[in-house]
Amino acid sequence: MKKIINALLIIFSVFLLASCTEPIEAPQDLKVENDLIAFTEIEDAIYKAVFISTADNKVHNRVVSNGTNIYTLSLAEGEYQLYIEITIGKQVVNTNQITIVIRDINAVNELKGETMLDSTQIKFIGRTLYDQVDEVNMMHHSGSGFEVKIIGTSLSADLIGTNTTQQAKKPFLAVVADENHDDVRVLSLDEKHNNKLVLVEGLKYGEHTIRVIKRSEALDSFFGVKAVYTDGKFLDVEYKDRFIEILGDSTTAGYGNETKQIFINGIPVKDEWGYNKYEDKTSGNSNALKTFGYLTAQAVNADYSIFSASGWGLTGSIWTNPQTVNLFDAYRKVYTTTNNSFVNVYSDEDYNFATARKADAVIISVGTNDLYYIEAMQGDQIKFQERKQAFIDKYKELVDFIMYLYGADTQIFMVYGAMVESRMYHTVEAAYANLSGYTNVHLVKLQGDNGAVDHHPSVSSNEEMAQVLIAKVKEVMNW
């Protein structure tokens, strides 16, 4: 009996001691630095890392210790919630929970220099020209830029710009993530070099398509990309099945379309001709993403290229210097611009149409600047008629050239009316009549509002005109 009592006392004592063991306190300093799990260890404890996949909520358990490299745990690429389960005897406690990302250690997370030109992981929009000296791919026209697809949360880039010291001319860019045009980040390039910028950050970890687009036009400035970086990895970009080329003047370049009308004490200010006065045009208030051409391409889910410049005519323009330089000749070059002497020029480099993507549709918006070039000869009726006929002939020459490049099945949309250039309507319509045998050419009359600086169409007017053009493109292309 005495032995039984002693045994019971021993068991009771052990139980009493166990029950008096102080509860362990879980460390709350869990972190991952340089891919190593770090936390305060507890003597004689067993550690189990609990990884919960953000993608599918599946739980993955791994035995770990302080200093374990997360890339030795055979986890799939992705985002996880992580905490450490600590066990001592019968006590189990958990650390704080953190978010980590397991990346593909063989992934490409940097695209740089000339290798970008042939990379399947970056898509350049519009015509570009690689500068061997600065190792940068330059973009010139409104709407030009680049697009990448990533798995990650951020994108950065090393960019350069021209005319960066001129407030009214420096490059303005738009960053569009996942086709969200309602939340576009706008930024400007303030230095020629050393523009190492975070373009987008804080995205939910996963796949994202990011497009960087030049809002402003070539007459103001250019921009270029030397390298792009992501905190995840680059994926192959996707090309849309449809491709539209947009050719024109200021109406397709977005000239001052975001300018605001000027009021003093609530009264509209008038210019010397009695028209409403607006803010001066700058690269900051010109937005290619709000032009009828860009909006049309977006609406029909097409890739696009814009080749446009303010002041240029199809045959000539009083706004160019010399007046005889023209958009048709410039079209054969990589870009068109204005040099520091305000002389309109185009690049020396011929555009390589042989390697260019074939356009399914081409939108042409010209005529306003030709109007003033033609009317400059009103005092000489012979030259006046010659210039009108030259416009008609040049339009046919342009259409023939486009069909030679892309094929007779390329649909061409002759657009007019964006600047309410009514005195030119008859001549544009005559140019269309001169193409009466061309079943792939379509005349589209728009109605601008002169609601921005220098009688250009406003953003709202561009949206309205886009609806007309979209309907016509969908009808003709069966899109």
Residue 114 CA to residue 41 CA, distance in Å, equals: 49
User: Any idea which of 89-93, 229-233, 322-326, 411-415 has the lowest mean pLDDT?
Assistant: 322-326
Query: Pick the residue with more confidence: 350 or 285?
Result: 285
Look up residue 203 and give its two tokens. 């995205």
* DSSP state letters, 245-283: EEEESHHHHTTTTT--B-EETTEE-B-TTSPBPBPPP-S
Rounded mean pLDDT, 355-360 = 95
Residue 146 CA to residue 150 CA, distance in Å, equals: 13
Query: Is residue 313 scored above 90 in pLDDT?
Result: yes
Q: Which class for 135: exposed (0-12), middle (13-18), buried (19 or more C-beta within 10 A)?
A: middle
Q: Which class for 84: exposed (0-12), middle (13-18), buried (19 or more C-beta within 10 A)?
A: buried
Proportion of the chain above pLDDT 70, given as a percent: 93
Q: Given this model, what pLDDT does residue 349 score?
A: 85
Residues 450-469 pLDDT 10s: 999 999 999 999 999 999 99
Let me know: does 470 contact 291? Beta carbons within 8 Å.
no
Residue 448 CA to residue 462 CA, distance in Å, equals: 7
Residue 215 CA to residue 342 CA, distance in Å, equals: 21
91 membership: H or E segment, kind and range: strand 91-94
Residues 231-267 pLDDT 10s: 999 999 999 999 999 999 999 999 999 999 999 999 9
Q: Given this model, what pLDDT does residue 450 score?
A: 93
Query: Is residue 392 scored above 70 in pLDDT?
Result: yes
How far, in Å, are 195, 323, 380 from residue 376 at the CA level?
Answer: 45, 11, 9
pLDDT-derived band at 2 (thresholds 50, 70, 90) equals low
Q: Which residues pair with 85 in a beta bridge?
A: 48, 94
Residues 258-284 pLDDT 10s: 999 999 999 999 988 888 899 999 999
Query: Pick the residue with more confidence: 347 or 52?
Result: 52
**Cis omega before residue 322 (within 30°)?**
yes
Helix or strand or coil: residue 149?
Answer: strand
User: Any idea which of 3-7, 22-26, 245-249, 251-255 has the lowest mean pLDDT?
Assistant: 3-7
Residues 27-41 pLDDT 10s: 999 999 999 999 999
Query: Is residue 433 scored above 70 in pLDDT?
Result: yes
Mean predicted lDDT score pLDDT of the chain: 91
Query: How far from each other are the two terminal CA atoms of the chain, in whole angstroms?
Result: 97
Query: Is residue 11 scored above 70 in pLDDT?
Result: no
Q: Given this model, what pLDDT does residue 9 score?
A: 52
CB-based contacts of 291, cutoff 8 Å, min separation 6: 142, 143, 251, 252, 253, 254, 257, 462
172-177 vs 155-161, strand pairing mode: unpaired
Q: What angle do CA 413, 312, 274 make, to 5 degrees?
A: 100
Instruction: Report the predicted TM-score, pTM, of the whole model to 2 decimal places.
Output: 0.85
Q: Given this model, what pLDDT does residue 15 score?
A: 47
Query: Is residue 336 scored above 90 in pLDDT?
Result: no
Residues 87-117 pLDDT 10s: 998 899 999 999 999 988 888 899 999 999 9
